Amino acid sequence: MNRELIRLHQDTGLPLVATNDCHYLNMEDHKSHDALLCINQGKLVKDDKRLKFSSETFYMKSPEEMKKAFSYVPRRSRTPLKLPSGATSS
């Protein structure tokens, strides 16, 4: 999370939202995702000049992993997810 967004939150009281760039469900799915990228581009995994993700971390992180990733956010700024009225989490 950008430090400027934290400052903006502190100055305005607007809520912060911590998100994760997620392209596949589990960490171990990164190789399958890489193969799908290759198929989409008509490339081989061994090709150097192709779209490739920079790490294996584009998976759905657990609440514990998200808390660790955003541990630098001041405690007073952390609030649970609030769903709009009428919305459900299922």
In this predicted model, what pLDDT tens digit does every residue of 13-47 receive, in sequence order? Answer: 888 888 889 999 999 999 999 999 999 999 999 99
Other CB atoms within 10 Å distance of the CB of residue 8: 13
Q: Per the structure block, which two tokens stand in for 35?
A: 């193969």
Average pLDDT, the chain: 86
| pTM attached to this predicted model | 0.70
Helices (H), 1-90: 3-12, 30-41, 63-69
